[in-house]
Amino acid sequence: MTTLIGFDGKRAVMNYTGIGNYSRLALESILPLMPDAHFNLYTPRRRENPRMAALERSPRVSIVTPDTLAGRLMPHLWRSRTLCGKLRRDKPDLYHGLSNELPWGIERTGIPSVVTIHDLIFMRHPEFYHRADVEICTRKFRYAAKAADRVIAISQRTADDLRELFDIPEEKIRIVYQGCSPIFSRPASTEAIEENRRIYGRYIIGVGTIESRKNQLLSLRALAMLPNDINLVLIGRRTAYADKIQAEARRLGLSERLYMVSGVDMTEIPALYAGAELAAYPSFYEGFGIPMLEALASGVPLVAATGSCLEEAGGPGAIYVDPNSPEQFADAASRIISSPILKEEMTARGRQYITRFAPEKFGRGLVDVYNELLPQK
């Protein structure tokens, strides 16, 4: 008998980064481990997304959209409020909310449910968010964590936050580390690496949305203390915080050494990492830190910030500094840049460390959680 697993597929289908990447990698990792299962991805809309191509080719994956006029007219309401009616009709053996949410009323359907909670940053650092967003996310995430039969935390830090902030019992939480795309473990093209070095010179790379929580200003201020031939390349979607970075670059006389690049295809990022002297991830707070795995898989040492879970993600492949100390950052970067031996040692340790986050281990961890619930049918 075929097992039917339902997923909140909105982010997998609609998003290109972040939780979209998590959702797609989860599905890709699970597929070979559950050969007799079928997977329904419930999404309020479809979108042309080349990153979904491999999944959509599988005969065991179905994209499910609203089948009523009301659902099509009010897709947000369908996903959050009326999806349970569709689930009752489809009768999946388990439903997994991949992006911090479950449809309201899931606990009354009799369908076992799992939710992945990525982080509770909005509660730890509400200053980085609009007040309304903090209130909405708190309500949605708390409901999902309380209603779910199992809560998957993507790190020990998130598990600790769930216990402390939502009072979720430890026996209900499972830590399942996520991986990063296999493209970062493959050797990058020598031509692409050299082209990036031609454009950017010797550079430090930072990948991630350019926003205040990510703290890219620390990297820029440290740049002023590093040799003049070292540049800073920031790859990611720009927010208003990017204007602050540009203003600070002008004040410090660093405008010619700063590059901010948006809209970079994921397939181009491994070569950007591989051409860098080091990667920077000085975020004030993270649920995990996938860009750290990407950098380490690409063979680049890191400078990252203390204070959340980044030591958990990067292990010995990074040097960790106070997120408010450009002096510490500059000292760490200088040590890496000036010592090929240190760089090689950190790279080797980092690559060894991140084997614990291999996609097959990610998939196995998810399936193990499912198997705790599936026999209850």
- How confident is the model over 100-106, as a mean pLDDT? 96
pTM across the whole model: 0.89
- How confident is the model over 81-100, as a mean pLDDT? 95
Phi, psi at 63, each rounded to 5°: -95, 120
What are the sequence ranges of the domains in the chain?
3-179+358-376, 182-356
- How confident is the model over 368-375, as a mean pLDDT? 92
Confidence of residue 377 (pLDDT cuts 50, 70, 90): very low
Residues 6 or more apart whose Cβ sits within 8 Å of residue 176: 116, 152, 153, 154, 362, 365, 366, 369
Confidence of residue 206 (pLDDT cuts 50, 70, 90): very high
Give the pLDDT score at 179.
Answer: 84
What confidence tens digit (pLDDT) does each residue in 295-337 have? 999 999 999 999 888 999 999 999 999 999 999 999 999 999 9
| Nearest partner of 100 among 65, 128, 134, 140, judged by Cα | 140
Range with the lowest mean pLDDT among 181-185, 320-324, 369-373? 181-185
How high does pLDDT run on average in the chain? Answer: 94
End-to-end Cα spacing for the chain: 13
| Nearest partner of 204 among 228, 180, 223, judged by Cα | 223
Q: Which two tokens stand for residue 34?
A: 């559950």
- How confident is the model over 126-150, as a mean pLDDT? 96
Residues 6 or more apart whose Cβ sits within 8 Å of residue 1: none
32: number of Cβ within 10 Å: 9
133: number of Cβ within 10 Å: 12
Residue 376 pLDDT > 60: no
Q: Please, are residues 316 and 294 in contact by the beta-carbon 8 Å criterion?
A: no
What confidence tens digit (pLDDT) does each residue in 240-288 have? 999 999 999 999 999 999 999 999 988 999 999 999 999 999 999 998 8
Give the pLDDT score at 180.
Answer: 85
Strand ordering across the sheet containing 230-235: 258-261, 230-235, 202-207, 278-281, 302-305, 318-321
Rounded CA gap, 357 and 184, in Å? 13
Q: Do domains 3-179+358-376 and 182-356 have the same CATH topology?
A: yes
Give the pLDDT score at 18.
Answer: 84
Confidence of residue 375 (pLDDT cuts 50, 70, 90): low
- How confident is the model over 49-75, as a mean pLDDT? 89
Rounded CA gap, 128 and 171, in Å? 31
Task: Give how far Cα 213 sits from Cα of 217, 248, 323, 328, Å.
Answer: 10, 17, 10, 19
Phi, psi at 203, each rounded to 5°: -145, 155
Give the pLDDT score at 1.
Answer: 76
Residues 6 or more apart whose Cβ sits within 8 Å of residue 231: 200, 201, 202, 203, 204, 223, 257, 258, 259
Fold observed for domain 3-179+358-376: Rossmann fold (3.40.50)
Question: What is the dihedral angle through the alpha carbons of 244, 281, 307, 124, rounded to the nearest 10 degrees?
Answer: 60
Residue 69 pLDDT > 90: no
- How confident is the model over 110-123, as a mean pLDDT? 96
Q: Which CATH architecture has domain 182-356?
A: 3-Layer(aba) Sandwich (3.40)
- Pairing mode of beta strands 258-261, 230-235: parallel
Rounded CA gap, 289 and 376, in Å? 34
| Nearest partner of 277 among 313, 245, 233, judged by Cα | 233
